[in-house]
């Protein structure tokens, strides 16, 4: 019995030391679009990012969210970001018009997952170009908050253009048909 207790104690210590790599997915932030677990976004930028995300949602119903973590651990960045988007419920359920940006600082990696409806608004090629031209240069200077904000502003412009160019009925038809096809 004592041997079993020692073994159980050792397992608990190992799991505690493993930390984030064994942790479950973080919960969504309450009343915010940003969860900064890596502590890389200043309060100033977090406030600006939240205001931008709120404005985008209010004007278009599209949702953007940001998560910073230390590491993806053994998870693939794209799978992790998609799982966060699904668990957090980013985007409207009927149109799947959300995107979630996940940044793993220690890994020096990021991934932005888009819902099927958002792919109609921001194609992968546009997303990649914006991130490579905006996010990456700021990150190379460790200006994370500014990089995230500038990137989201450019994505917000793309979202705004889509919603301005189409009537509400057209938007619903485009986004709903894409979601149904999947």
Q: Where are the alpha helices (DSSP H) in 19-143?
A: 43-60, 77-88, 116-121, 124-130, 136-140
Q: What number of H helices and E strands is found in the chain?
A: 8, 4
Q: Which CATH number belongs to the domain containing residue 156 in this structure?
A: 3.10.310.50
Mean pLDDT of the chain: 87
Q: Degrees (nearest 5) of the Cα angle 19, 82, 147?
A: 80
* Distances, alpha carbon 83 to alpha carbons 54, 57, 135, 150, in Å: 22, 21, 22, 24
Which carries the bigger pLDDT value, residue 2 or residue 82?
82
- Give the pLDDT of residue 22: 43
| 145 occurs within a structural domain | yes
Number of domains in the chain: 1
| 6 occurs within a structural domain | no
| 118 occurs within a structural domain | yes
- Give the pLDDT of residue 169: 76
Q: Tens digits of per-residue pLDDT, 79-106?
A: 999 999 999 999 999 999 999 999 999 9
Read off the pLDDT of each residue in 171-180 and give the average, rounded to a whole number. 66
User: pTM to 2 decimals?
Assistant: 0.82
């Amino acid at each position: 019995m004592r041997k079993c207790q020692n073994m159980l104690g050792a397992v608990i210590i190992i799991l505690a030391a493993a930390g984030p790599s064994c942790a479950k997915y973080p919960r969504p932030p309450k009343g915010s679009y940003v969860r900064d677990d890596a502590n890389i976004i200043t309060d100033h930028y977090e406030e600006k990012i939240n205001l931008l995300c709120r404005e985008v949602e209010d004007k278009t119903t599209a949702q953007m969210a940001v998560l910073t973590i230390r590491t993806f651990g053994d998870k693939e960045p794209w799978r992790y970001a998609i799982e966060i988007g699904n668990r957090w419920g980013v985007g409207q359920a009927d149109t799947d018009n959300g995107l979630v940006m996940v940044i793993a600082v220690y890994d020096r990696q990021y991934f932005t997952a888009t819902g099927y409806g958002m792919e109609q608004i921001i194609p992968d090629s546009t997303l990649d170009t914006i991130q490579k031209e905006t996010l990456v240069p700021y990150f190379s200077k460790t200006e994370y908050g500014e990089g995230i904000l500038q990137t989201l502003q450019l994505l917000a412009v793309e979202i705004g253009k889509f919603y301005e160019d189409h009537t509400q009925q057209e938007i619903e038809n485009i986004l709903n048909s894409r979601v149904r096809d999947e």
